[in-house]
Amino acid sequence: MKQVLQELGAGRTTIADVPVPAVPAGGLLIATGRTLISAGTERMLVEFSRAGWIEKARQQPEKVRQVIDKVRTDGPLATFEAVRGQLNRDLPLGYCNVGTVIATDSTVGEFAAGDRVVSNGAHAEYVAVSRNLCARVPDDVCNDDAAYTVLASIGLQGVRLAAPTIGETFAVVGLGLIGLLTVQILRANGCRVLGIDPDSQKSALAREFGAATVDVGGGEDPLEAAQSYSRGRGVDGVLIAASTKSDSVVSQAARMCRKRGRIVLVGVTGLKLNRSDFYEKELTFQVSCSYGPGRYDKSYEEEGQDYPVGFVRWTEQRNFEAVLDMIASGSLQPGKLTTHRYAIEDAGKAYDMIAAGTEAYLGVLLEYADKAEQKPQQTIDIADREDRVLPTAGNPVVGVIGSGNYASRILIPALARGGATLHGIASSGGQTAASTGRKFGFATATTDPAVLIDDPQVNCIVIATRHDSHAGLVVDSLARGKNVFVEKPMALNDVEIDSIQTAYDAASGTNKPVVMVGFNRRFAPTVLRTKELLESASAPKNFVVTVNAGHLPPEHWTQDPAVGGGRIIGEACHFIDLLRFLAAAPIDQWQVMRVKAAGGVQDDKATITLSFSDGSVGAIHYLANGHSSFPKERVEVFCGGAILQIDNFRALRSFGWKGFSGSRSWRQDKGQEACAAAFLDAVRDGRSSPIPFDQLLEVSRVTVAVGEAARQGTAGA
């Protein structure tokens, strides 16, 4: 299918061929009929992507501070690669979509194939959305008008926050698409409306919708106009739909208002507020969040959990429905805002026109051919057949499942440098699989992982998806005789670990498949040198690992026990494996203590102690309550009257270690490339896994037990 993408680094707007997305759990697959370009939001993204590095940095000073901190801790080369990786992305554009449902998840009963719906889907021939992010279109509302629903809901939510009553006077500052839709919604609420914008054509449209306007271009003073229009009382409220960095817009709105008036910011402005503007009048100021309650709430948007109508009358979805009802009744007339139409194939011309700014425009629609009767293609070729690297005997031929940031920035480049044949790549949405696949020369991209697992050419499956899918994909891959590299963690609970062990034991043949978990820290040069030095030491060791993990909000997917497993299982497993490697002895006891605080996530601020069968002891301080300027990871080994210290996998320091004074590198190396290479070499040479399978099971079981104890607040065993 075709999808509009913006190359964040290069600044190009492209129409890419990508696989059709899979039907999401609790969601729908929609064949698009129309989409609306949100000229304000999308223009800002396009302009940002086309700016140079210096201008990008100037626009995001908070990101610059993060980069400086990362240079201090990780070094300039690692920081440069991370920044380049973030900018070398293709972002999907668009969020105003109308089309026809072609498939639903089995749990969705309120929508069916053939329904015409609006959604916040992107500019693409097919979109996959959650059940709560779409609404059925009435029969008497055409696709062109329905395409404005999501954008109008942004204005509607601002109006709801302003709480207008019949007869009140409101000013709308900024008469772009959202502003003109907001004018109509306020008029439908029985309000008198004053529109303010320097563009005379937009002001003329506002007058068509029943508003009075201010001739800003002709020198008319908005404050005097507002005072006159409000009969000398001041307006009851102001909705700001403008996009500007200036602080003066909010100050002007405050001076327009009557005492105890209210201001709602729907657009984007500077926010250095003057207290006196608000103090004397006791004004209310509020920022409106997109299309309404539910926005950015994972349980609502992704998991499909609706809010009870008796407590939250107007959600995102119910706002969509209200807008569609207004369009059906004629009280909202978005069709008058349409100025341009382009076929999806010509979308690049639309963005060039918008970016150039030489032509007047408002509503820009993208039109799509009818795809409802065609079979969606979940797997596509993304490389010319004559350019493909054909598999050779014994060569690792890789299918990668997952194309997120880590996979595309770290793992896949490591596989490529390790000599793997990159055959197929999968992601649930399809767009990232196609974009990443083209950059690295994959032959195919798909949204169905089974396509790769079943492919007879593929002998290695690399899994880099969310944690809750790891175990199932490992089991499926082993059942088909594939070698498996799975990013940590291997599993989230003992039942999953048992299923992997059963599948591995059942694998046919004398040579078992290579099973590898991405425990890359044990392959870092500083760790390998430490291991080499420890081989001459017979005494038990004391290990101290300090992980300055950084804060993640409670709603982040890794904090969800069912999806990410929590940060102990999802991330601290690295360091449990690292100490198992350095001790070279089984773990016989463990204990965990976490902070005791009221509310919030507590198990990502914990100390894990491990004892090993050779008498060694290790302490892992996994802490999410530190500062980013401190090194992220530090490993210290105390043994035989000497100390070795690994500082952020850049420096290895010696304190009294005979014959070794230390080493330092300008480049942080956590062992990712060596880890991938070791897996590929094992497959290529027919050897067993570089990490013995019984150690993978041991570390996984200990990690799961520690993670569960930290979550429950118990001590250990």
Residue 264 is inside which H or E element, if any?
strand 257-265
Q: Between 91 and 89, name the one with better pLDDT.
A: 91
| Residue 99 burial (CB count, 10 A) | 33
Tokens representing 44 are: 């800002």
CATH superfamily of 379-517: NAD(P)-binding Rossmann-like Domain (3.40.50.720)
- At residue 388, the pLDDT reads 55
- At residue 64, the pLDDT reads 46
DSSP-assigned letter for residue 290: T
Give the pLDDT mean for 178-184: 97
Tokens representing 132 are: 């709560």
448-497 residue pLDDT tens: 999 999 999 999 999 999 999 999 999 999 999 999 999 999 999 999 99
Q: Work out the pLDDT band at 716, boundaries 50, 70, 90.
A: low
* CB within 8 Å of 26: residues ≥ 6 apart: 105, 107, 108, 130, 131, 303, 304
DSSP-assigned letter for residue 230: T
DSSP letter string, 405-453: HHIIIIIHHHHHHTT-EEEEEE-SSSHHHHHHHHHHT-SEEES-HHHHH
Give the pLDDT mean for 211-233: 92
- At residue 141, the pLDDT reads 97
Note whether 154 and 298 are within 8 A (CB).
Answer: no
Q: Work out the pLDDT band at 631, boundaries 50, 70, 90.
A: confident
CA distance 123 to 94: 5
Q: Does domain 151-287 have CATH number 3.90.25.10?
A: no
CA distance 642 to 664: 19
CA distance 688 to 228: 84
Which residues are registered as beta bridge partners of 127?
30
CA distance 349 to 342: 8
Side-chain half-sphere exposure of 456, counting CA atoms within 13 A: 0
Return mean pLDDT, the chain: 90
Q: Please report, for the chain, the start and end positions of each structural domain, with discontinuous segments joined by +.
A: 2-147+333-367, 151-287, 379-517, 521-667+691-712
- At residue 563, the pLDDT reads 93
Per-state percent for the chain, helix, strand, coil, to nearest 5:
40, 25, 40
Give the pLDDT mean for 127-142: 96
Q: Please give, one letter per residue, the 3-state secondary structure of 143-195.
A: HHHHCCHHHHHHHHHHHHHHCCCCCCEEEEECCCHHHHHHHHHHHHCCCEEEE
Helix/strand/coil for 331: coil
Helix/strand/coil for 19: coil
pLDDT-above-70 percentage for the chain: 91
- At residue 537, the pLDDT reads 86
- At residue 570, the pLDDT reads 95
What is the chain's length?
A: 717
On the question of a common fold for 151-287 and 379-517, the answer reads yes
Phi, psi of 444 (to 5 degrees): -135, 155
Q: Work out the pLDDT band at 56, boundaries 50, 70, 90.
A: very low
- At residue 76, the pLDDT reads 55
Phi, psi of 87 (to 5 degrees): -80, -20
CA distance 577 to 209: 66
Tokens representing 709 are: 């104890």
Most confident of the ranges 1-10, 555-564, 696-705: 696-705
CA distance 121 to 123: 7
- CATH no., domain 2-147+333-367: 3.90.180.10
Note whether 537 and 528 are within 8 A (CB).
Answer: no
73-87 residue pLDDT tens: 555 555 545 545 555
Task: Look at residue 634 and tell me whether its pLDDT is greater than 70.
Answer: yes
Residue 265 is inside which H or E element, if any?
strand 257-265
Please list the alpha-helical segments (H only) found in 455-540: 470-479, 494-506, 525-534
CA distance 554 to 689: 36
Tokens representing 638 are: 């105390």
Side-chain half-sphere exposure of 207, counting CA atoms within 13 A: 11
* Lowest pLDDT segment from 4-18, 179-193, 203-217, 513-527: 4-18
CATH superfamily of 521-667+691-712: Dihydrodipicolinate Reductase; domain 2 (3.30.360.10)
The answer to whether the bond into 489 is cis (omega within 30° of 0) is yes
DSSP letter string, 43-99: HHHHHHHHS-HHHHHHH-HHHHHHHHHHHHHH-HHHHHHHHHHHHS-EEE----EEE
DSSP letter string, 25-39: TTEEEEEEEEEEE-H
Terminal CA-CA length for the chain: 54
144-163 residue pLDDT tens: 999 999 999 999 999 999 99
Phi, psi of 243 (to 5 degrees): -125, 110
pTM: 0.87
